[in-house]
Amino acid sequence: MDIQNKERDIRNEDKLIEFAKLLKSSKYTVVLTGAGMSTESGIPDFRSKDGLWRGIDPMKVACREALLNDYDIFYEFYKMRVNNLENCKPHIGYDILAKWEKVGLIKSIITQNVDDFHIIAGNKKVFRVHGSINEFSCVDCGKSATKDMFINKLKCHKCGSDLRPNVVLFGENLPEKELNSAIEEVQNSDLLIVIGTSLLVSPVNQLIHMTNGKKVYVNNDTSFSHYFDLTFSENVGELLHAVDRFHIQN
């Protein structure tokens, strides 16, 4: 190992220690996650060169216009997403966040992800500001439906209309209750940990400006690092595992 690599390792170790100190000294830590939190579980993200939107215009597929006027395209896209989830599960980073909530190190999770992996991993206080792809309802009357009904392209039992996953589409408002709760959580935080989000999607990207506490950013693209006290570009699972194993437990 050359001197430059040694220095980089030392610098990273110092950052891991600082991350752990911030977490252990915080009275109210909140975590905000985006698509990059789930890429290590095999779910493609949205904006990287290998992301979910590669070759697809989201404004023509994952939007209310497609839902109402081009349902076949909308349905095929979301059927693919629902089926892809069958082969994915939460990675170790999710398990660590669930553990940290259980022992009181973090208070809540705010997520832009619709896969429900935080809940599956064991987190209890989760605000799903972009909805859930595991829940379904009628486009017109709102009656609940099952995944099997959606996958098999069945109609609503009540009114006969098309079905949809309960995700927030382009052109739709975020669920007001979830968003207001997320804002309140961030305002109460003295440490905000932001993981795997490009910070390009409004209004969630404004949450980072609503805390007076410290901020940690974990993302492959750290273009917005100037807003944060500490930034990491490592893999989420490896990073959280290192912080937990070598610094939180000691």
Residues noted as catalytic: 130
How far is residue 125 from each of residues 36, 102, 218, measured CA to CA in Å?
A: 20, 10, 21
Q: Tell me, rounded to whole angstroms, the distance of Cα 211 from its chain centroid.
A: 19
CB atoms near residue 238 (< 10 Å): 14
From the list 168, 166, 147, 149, the residue with the least C-alpha distance to 158 is 149
Structure tokens at 181: 């709760």
Q: What are the backbone dihedrals phi and psi of residue 109, each rounded to the nearest 5 degrees, phi first? A: -120, 130
